[in-house]
Chains A and B, each alone.
Chain A
Amino acid sequence: MANTRSRRGGKGGYLLFLLPGVLLFTAVIVIPLIMNIGISFTRWQGIGTPQWIGLDNYDRLIHDANFWASFRNIIFIIVAMVVIPTLLGLFLAAVLFDYVGKRIGPGTASVFRSGLYLPQVLPVAVTGIVWGWFLNSSTGVFNSILDSIGLGFLAQNWLGDPKWALWSVMFVMVWVQLGYPVVMFMSGLQRVDPELYEAADLDGAGWWQKFTRIAVHLIKPEIYVVLVTTTISALKIFGQIFVLTRGGPGNSTLVPSYFAWQNFFEKFNAGYGAAISTVLTLIIIVLTYVFLRIQTADERRGA
């Protein structure tokens, strides 16, 4: 199709520019994605001929406690990567932009912004190494601080105890994620017309009212972008889990992507791993669709 049209020139001539991209995407994304769905209907160890077993892998998934644990854990991870950073980010962005930026100076505000954003730039593996050390039970920084201030009895095996592991991972993820909404929301707040604030002042609105009625309302696009992108990256989380806990202890920090990886490369259950990743893909597509629908509906209402 691409070829026949491109020869005609005019508007069709642009198709030629799409050719390298389309070839690359077909090879790296389309074909593997279809293959992955195909593999999910088979029993296959990665060598030999895949054996068609229909929906057996999916049936097994529904009855697999690890699968449900991984999705339960992902909800906690979403709280840590989406809900808390968004709420805290709104608060910090408002304070930095409206208060620090206007009363103390934009330079000061951007120094704070950069500081909060810094954890975002680290490779996930490095984040994992740093926090793995901090939270280590015997030699970790946390426990040694608790010891030195006489609170040694509070020391825990933060990553090794099933009671604490997920909370510890959540804590790390809040640290990683916080800077992103702060940067996004602060840039959004720049679009707020000061005249709206002045008008609200005349109506006797307090800071709080101005914030909820004007600022939050106007930076809705940024809030949507943050919610969508962070939810998706929470669903895809792998690196930090791999380095920090490897899904353990037990399945207390198991997440779908790590579960799929385990089946692919440790247990040689390619079919089962493919089923897990197919379900994860479906969830991400459905969620994105729902988000986009809500966003468009909301924009229409606003317009």
Chain B
Amino acid sequence: MSTDTVTKAAGEPVKPVKPAKPGGLATKTLVLAGLTVFTGLVLAPFLVVLINAFKSSEDYSQGGPLALPSSIYLQGMIDFWNRVEFGEKLWNSFVIAASVAVLAVIISVLNAYAIGIGRLRGRTAFLMFFLLANLLPQEALVYPLYYLSKQFDLYNTRLMVIIILTAIQAAFGTYLLSSVFRDFPPSLLEAAALDGAGKLRTLIRVVVPTSWPTLSVLFTFFFIWTWNEFFLPLIFLIDNDLQTVPLALAVLQGQREVDITTTAASALLGIVPAVLFFLIFQRTLTRGVMSGAVK
């Protein structure tokens, strides 16, 4: 199937551009206009959410979803914030995402140090194992984890979610970081050895500082992935005061009496942190996507 897709991928997409003579001002305008319209359509949902989050119900029923708000109405968002105790949800999400990101980077570094720099025997097997652990559907782990967490009194705790997600993210981190560490400059390691540094000291003083950019990319990815995670919090965080942002929003949506403007307000509050992270980490993210591709 994949080869088929690749050849098709090569064949199809360029047709619309073919007749154009690149370079002409008309073509330039046409291409830019086309791209602007297309990207605008992709981004339109964000705009629609934004304008409706500031409307009252009456305003919405009068003007419909595309009209600008007749006045800036904040009460809907304030009501929503209080109703789901959004501040608490933000804090839960932050605690879980930050803990997972830190722990998973540490575990990834330790694993990759042993595999990539230590060149352990059987490292391919280890790598395949970590890769596999990342590819597994969470459904294949979740029931035993659910059962075990109840046995160990960890059910319905943030700690359980942190432990599971740390393992899953670190699996990816180990896989990626091992190939980065494999190309670690040996001269640096030798210099550290000459200075009499042990393995742990070499790791902390040489390897970690040198690979800081890659580690920050990993941290960013882990943080955002964990922040966005839905499946595990859905199963493991039952109490309202433990829930994360995505979970609280989905649960609220499940209660059918929710009106449109509340939906819009809640969607906006879900989008804002994600977009903020995106803007803050944009460079790191694109760099990370790239380094993930070229091994």
Contacts and interface: CB of A to CB of B under 8 A. Distances in A.
B18 A208 contact: yes
A294 B167 contact: no
A11 B115 CA distance: 11
A46 interface: yes
B42 A126 contact: no
Contact of A187 (B3, B12, B171, B289): B289
A122 B144 CA distance: 29
B176 to A, nearest CB: 12
A134 B45 contact: yes
B17 interface: yes
Contacts of B227: 123
B111 interface: yes
18 contacts: A11-B118, A25-B170, A99-B17, A115-B39, A121-B224, A122-B274, A124-B230, A126-B271, A130-B271, A141-B48, A144-B66, A184-B290, A187-B290, A207-B17, A223-B6, A264-B139, A277-B142, A285-B135
Nearest to B132: A285
A14 B117 CA distance: 9
Interface string B65-83: 1100000000000000000
Contacts of A117: 278
Give chain B's interface secondary structure class: helix
Contacts of A222: 293-294
A69 interface: no
B136 A99 contact: no
Nearest to B264: A133
Interface residues of B, number: 103
A225 B2 CA distance: 11
Contacts of B45: 119, 130-131, 134, 175
A212 interface: yes
Interface residues of A, number: 111
A257 B139 contact: yes
Interface of A: 11, 13-18, 20-21, 24-25, 27-29, 31-33, 35-36, 39, 46, 82-83, 86-88, 90-92, 94-96, 99-100, 103-104, 108, 112-119, 121-126, 128-134, 139, 141, 144-145, 148, 175, 178, 180, 183-184, 187-188, 191, 206-208, 211-212, 216, 220-225, 227, 232, 235-236, 238-239, 242-243, 256-257, 260-261, 264-265, 270, 273-274, 276-278, 280-281, 284-285, 288, 290-291, 294
B148 interface: yes
Given A25-B171, A184-B289, A99 B22 contact: yes
B228 to A, nearest CB: 4
B145 A28 contact: yes
B215 interface: no
B9 A216 contact: yes
Contact of B274 (A25, A32, A121, A227): A121
A21 B144 contact: no
Contact of B39 (A86, A116, A121, A294): A116
Contacts of B274: 121-123, 126
Contact of B277 (A31, A121, A238, A288): A121
Contact of B49 (A130, A145, A265, A291): A130
**Which one of B10, B171, B260, B266 has the highest number of Cβ atoms from chain A below 10 Å of its Cβ?**
B10
Nearest to A231: B2
B205 interface: no
A123 B164 CA distance: 19
Nearest to A291: B2
B145 A274 contact: no
B139 A277 contact: yes
Contacts of A175: 42, 45
A10 B285 CA distance: 37
A173 B250 CA distance: 18
Given A28-B167, A294-B2, A257 B145 contact: no
B43 interface: yes
Nearest to B146: A264
A264 B45 CA distance: 34
A46 B113 CA distance: 40
A24 B107 contact: yes
A29 B8 CA distance: 37
B196 interface: no
B277 to A, nearest CB: 7
A126 B246 contact: yes
B209 interface: no
Contacts of B294: 188, 191, 221-222
A53 to B, nearest CB: 17
Nearest to B40: A115
A128 B23 CA distance: 41
A122 B270 contact: yes
The 8 closest A-B pairs by CB, nearest first: A14-B118, A91-B13, A126-B270, A125-B246, A28-B167, A35-B144, A32-B144, A123-B228
Interface in B152-167: 163-164, 166-167
Contacts of B228: 121-124
A117 B281 CA distance: 13
| Residue among A20, A118, A206 with the highest chain B CB neighbour number at 10 A | A118
Contacts of B132: 285, 288
Given A28-B145, A94-B13, A99-B22, A188 B293 contact: yes
A11 B113 CA distance: 12
